[in-house]
Structure 1
Amino acid sequence: MKSRLLLSACAIAAAALSGAAAETPSTQPVLTPASNLVVDGIPPIPQAIADEVNRYTEFRSAGLASWHPVKRQMLIRTRFADTVQIHEVTQPLGMRKQVTFFPDSVSDAYYPPMPAGGDANWFILAKDIGGSEFDQLFKYDLTSGDVTLLTDGKSRNSGPRFSKDGKKFVYTSTRRNRKDPDFYVASSDAPGDAKMVYQADAPGWFPAAWSPDGSLLLTGKFSSANESSLWIVNPATGEKTRLSPETEKPTRYSGGYFSADGKGVYLTTDAGSEFERLAYIDIATKEIAYLAPDAKWDVEDFTVSDDGKLLAYTTNEDGSAVLHLLDTATRKELPLPKLPPGQISTLSFHANSQDLGIVLNSAKAPSDVYSVDVKSGVLTRWTQSETAGLNTDNFPDPSLVRWKSFDGLQISGFLYKPDAAKFPGKRPVIINIHGGPESQFRPGFMGSYNYYFTKLGCAAIFPNVRGSSGYGKTFLTLDNAEKREDSVKDIGALLDWIKTQPDLDPDRVMVVGGSYGGYMTLAVSVHYADRIRCAIDVVGISNFVSFLERTEPYRQDLRRVEYGDERNPAMRKVLEQISPLNNVAKIRKPLMVVHGANDPRVPLFEAEQIVKAMKEKQTPVWMLVAKDEGHGFAKKSNFQFQFYATVAFVRKFLL
């Protein structure tokens, strides 16, 4: 089971490229940036831009937050105003009743389990301030509407995980040293009175699940994208016991759930395989049985029904999600109804062990909540998000494309092309590079990006360069440390491939990326300046050394495993050599830089220093900073201005 990402790097980069507008005379009305936005080098943006493309900012989506523990209803996450809030849906396609009203988005909500015949009049929610990612936990009383802070208001907190009887919950907090996620347990009757039960020795610890009797915790330790382990923690004593075997080579063991009898744990692991397989480990004997031994793709998410009889999981098959259902007693796959094509996420069984909640999206439809009746096979839709009245049937479907890189390695990506009848001839190309780096572009609803396809006739390619997840653990390591720039060469090979395509224009190429993809964008601007028109860097890394020295303490050691340790003189030299900031003289094409002032992952300093260097060499550079955002723009009003600014940039420098 994968941990929630606060904001995917693909989404960050997609937000940077969500519109376009024509040059307009200075006499026409212009947009005035809000006081929370810092605009540097961006010319006045005509009001006509907003009028022309605003509908492409009005898409809505919905995510499943929590099933009600007794009733067949749920809490969802969706946005009706400026930020994502919690809403209550009491029946399929019923009214979305907004429950929370905060200036910042609510990242999640959790109902406590309840005994049969009981009711739930409260839930726990998690939210940060200004995109800081230092989530606090709150109790929301549905009867009174009171909201009570449960955590210290300063540290980074995650969770919670409730015991099966709902009487207690565990969560992590960095309040001790701002770095390590210690485990705290609180009673549901007194949720604000938490006691530390385990002191973490590294940033990567997390609680996964309680044992059925509530006496033990299944926990995990994430060491890197290639290595993680599972442990059993006794919250009464603080003692921990390793559950997953020790291995000579880095291996992933990810959890997970206890079996109904408490004798074993369901998990995923890439032990003995290139891919993560679904497995069961006997706690007493440590014997591992593989439940889907022949899988040729990663098992990426799974959940177990409340009665322990069913296990639902998804496989990542060349970027597309496929849902499976398993009988835990026979370990045989059970039939499921045919689902609409697209991505599947957020697997969650209702306490009735019959309704499996899922979130679906596709190229034609934004994310919405559905449920599958695992007994009857009936698929039920719970939400239907608006698409601003646009006919999404006109939005293009992606095609999977492949090319060979400099060393013969096959790289793949997804290509979106405009309607050839409407836009004949060679089309300008946007290359959008995902973040992570251990992430993967997954084809789904492209939101405002569709403006490029349907109105401007642009094509877009979303590559999964070496180092991306989803293609095996060897592929995942091919860009580590000294091999970092091999992934940049994968984009060079993509530029070669574009030249061979009769309907793509190699002379009109823009590269964009968010987070690590921002570094890739800058690196491509360094190495292939003569082959691109312009670039957009969103919350990107410009110097690996300054990034590693300034990223939040809870991230530093984990990032050093991926990028290399800047404290080692030899590695520091390599990082300095490959950092775009130290090669800025080679960047000769216009650059747009977007950042949030509160970014805990990639500090604002990374944007400031590359912009300063670009100005000194008098290469065109536009900069947009939001004072109330973090690792990407989450507030609708900020996203919209980013959309409009990008419009002018694309019109001026790409088209």
Structure 2
Amino acid sequence: DDKWLVMIRYISRTETEVWRMDVASGKRERLLPGSDSAPRATYFGLEFSPDGSRLYLTTTARSEFQQLAEYRFATRALRVLSSKIAWDADGIALSHDGRRLAAVFNVDGRDELRLFDPASGKELARPKVSSGQISGLKWHEKRVGELAFTLNSPQSPATIFSVDTVTGAVQRWTTADTAGVDPASFRDAEIVRWKSFDGRTISGVLTLPPPRFMSQGPRPVIVAIHGGPEAQATVNFNGRFNYLINELGVALLEPNVRGSSGYGKTFLDLDNGVKREDSVKDIGALLDWIATDPRLDAKRVMVQGGSYGGYMVLASLVHYSDRLRGGIDVVGISDFVSFLNNTESYRRDLRRSEYGDERDPAVRAVLDQIAPLANAGKIRAPLLVVHGKNDPRVPVGEAKQIVQKVRANGTPVWYLEADNEGHGFARKANADFYFYSMVAFIERYLLSDELR
């Protein structure tokens, strides 16, 4: 009836609140959590029921994972609908008649579309949808039971489908442009797992090159580390990286080190503050695992990553230069103290909650000790650094200071700085130049044995 507005107050990656506002008066009240003493939790994906009596959402209030739940305004009661599913519900959509609730569950990096009866809370027959990332859920206003969604899969970038949730029939509505390349040639991915230093299982997404390369022996590997740090590597379209896989014969391995989302809120917090380097140890354990897989060449491994992933590249080079052919640091952090001092003020406290408060002497001592900048002398493998001059998140000084220090030690460093870019390269001409530079770097330092 347009009288009420519900909203999310974002505090941190592990804490949000749900508020309701009277549109006419502007009066606001907090709905969730119900009290100040309630455990810290997140709430996302708000959907009103047709009669306005209930709210459907996802929350970690009663679980390690983001669960599908129902909130009743009259009783202030929260009912969990997906308690038997030990994975995050990433997106939800309630049908216009209120009889079907769709939810996307992130199952170890592969999305699953599931349906629920909101009244009983029971799961309905599961639609058969191809593997990949599912987003943009939207119910048809007139054709009851028809649900549209976007699928991003290894074989295709974002493509629109719909599914008849009654018959199970799936229909494709769009075909993404792959610039003349046969999408069937794009390789599928697999989930791999390894044990880290503390016995914890870490997983990642592995994409192998075509058989014509695999027949030549173990393949060189690029370990592409995501940013965030609370992002997650998932099964999706690899974009330009398909060139590295299909044309250069490189295996792409994307790890979800501790601190990644999708594996529970405890896992999400395992890299916070002074525990930062535990996630770097997960990369060391990954290098050990690569040596056990006969499909991969442990003597030809390179690390790549952007933003926080750029820090992980630098830290990996500090600790494992003797096991790496090189690293590609894109808009990465080289020193957490200088980063926290110079990042835009609107982000500073949010980042302190993740990386630690540099104003605390004990925390600062740890951040100083683990900074790649302070350990630049240990970086002995070739390095490509890429940064935008106008980056408000990770200022360009993070790049310049690490380039200067590593070069001073005689280590080969390639540096690419764009005058008209920020946190990443958005302009096509710049993105193309960066990609060509990355390919040249990979050919020089990772594939030189094959190209001779």
**Where does residue 137 of structure 2 map in the other structure?**
347
Say yes or no: does 1:266 pair with 2:95. Answer: no
**Where does residue 147 of structure 2 map in the other structure?**
356
Matching residue within 605, 609, 618 for 2:397 = 605
RMSD, aligned CA = 1.8
**Where does residue 317 of structure 1 map in the other structure?**
107
CA contact (8 A) 1:218 1:257 kept: no
Letter of the 2:7 partner, please give it. Answer: T
Matching residue within 146, 166, 180 for 1:389 = 180
Letter of the 1:419 partner, please give it. Answer: P
CA drift at 1:337: 4.1
Matching residue within 338, 347, 350 for 2:128 = 338
Say yes or no: does 1:401 pair with 2:192. Answer: yes
Say yes or no: does 1:488 pair with 2:280. Answer: yes
Mark the runs of 5 or more structure 1 residues left unpaired by the alignment.
1-212
Mark the runs of 5 or more structure 2 residues left unpaired by the alignment.
448-452
Using structure 2 for the length normalisation, give the TM-score: 0.93
Residues 278-332 of structure 1, C-alpha deviations (whole Å, 9 max, x = no match): 1111123211111222111111111223343332110011111011222333433
**Where does residue 254 of structure 1 map in the other structure?**
44
CA drift at 1:376: 4.9
d(CA) in 1 for partners of 2:243 and 2:290? 22
SS state of the match for residue 322, structure 2? Answer: helix
Written as runs of structure 1 = structure 2, the 5 A alignment for 1:139-218 is: 213-218=1-6
Written as runs of structure 1 = structure 2, the 5 A alignment for 1:591-602 is: 591-602=383-394
CA drift at 1:399: 1.7
CA drift at 1:593: 1.0
- Count of residue correspondences: 443
**Where does residue 326 of structure 1 map in the other structure?**
116
Letter of the 1:277 partner, please give it. Answer: Q
**Where does residue 476 of structure 1 map in the other structure?**
268
Letter of the 1:346 partner, please give it. Answer: G
**Structure 1 pair 459–410 and aligned structure 2 pair: CA distance change class (3 A):** same
Matching residue within 193, 201, 205 for 1:414 = 205
Say yes or no: does 1:618 pair with 2:406. Answer: no
**Structure 1 pair 389–475 and aligned structure 2 pair: CA distance change class (3 A):** same
CA drift at 1:228: 1.3
CA contact (8 A) 2:39 2:61 kept: no
Matching residue within 19, 29, 35 for 1:241 = 29
**Structure 1 pair 376–496 and aligned structure 2 pair: CA distance change class (3 A):** closer
CA contact (8 A) 1:220 1:255 kept: no
**Where does residue 370 of structure 1 map in the other structure?**
161
CA drift at 1:224: 1.6
**Where does residue 220 of structure 1 map in the other structure?**
8
CA drift at 1:493: 0.6
SS state of the match for residue 392, structure 2? Answer: coil
d(CA) in 2 for partners of 1:494 and 1:621? 25
CA drift at 1:477: 0.9
d(CA) in 2 for partners of 1:545 and 1:375? 56
SS state of the match for residue 630, structure 1? Answer: coil
d(CA) in 2 for partners of 1:361 and 1:227? 28
CA contact (8 A) 1:306 1:353 kept: no
CA contact (8 A) 1:368 1:385 kept: yes
CA contact (8 A) 2:160 2:173 kept: yes
Residues 94-130 of structure 1, C-alpha deviations (whole Å, 9 max, x = no match): xxxxxxxxxxxxxxxxxxxxxxxxxxxxxxxxxxxxx
d(CA) in 2 for partners of 1:374 and 1:391? 30
d(CA) in 2 for partners of 1:376 and 1:632? 44
SS state of the match for residue 523, structure 1? Answer: helix
CA drift at 1:604: 1.8
CA contact (8 A) 1:324 1:333 kept: yes
Letter of the 2:125 partner, please give it. Answer: P
**Where does residue 650 of structure 1 map in the other structure?**
442
Using structure 1 for the length normalisation, give the TM-score: 0.65
Residues 53-109 of structure 1, C-alpha deviations (whole Å, 9 max, x = no match): xxxxxxxxxxxxxxxxxxxxxxxxxxxxxxxxxxxxxxxxxxxxxxxxxxxxxxxxx
CA drift at 1:542: 0.9
d(CA) in 1 for partners of 2:355 and 2:24? 38
Residues 463-504 of structure 1, C-alpha deviations (whole Å, 9 max, x = no match): 111111111111111111111000000000111111222232
List structure 1 runs of 4+ shifted beyond 4 angstroms.
Answer: none
Matching residue within 402, 408, 426 for 2:218 = 426
CA contact (8 A) 1:595 1:625 kept: yes
Say yes or no: does 1:277 pair with 2:67. Answer: yes
Letter of the 2:182 partner, please give it. Answer: N
SS state of the match for residue 524, structure 1? Answer: helix
Residues 528-551 of structure 1, C-alpha deviations (whole Å, 9 max, x = no match): 111101100011111111211222
Q: Which structure shows the higher helix fraction? A: 2
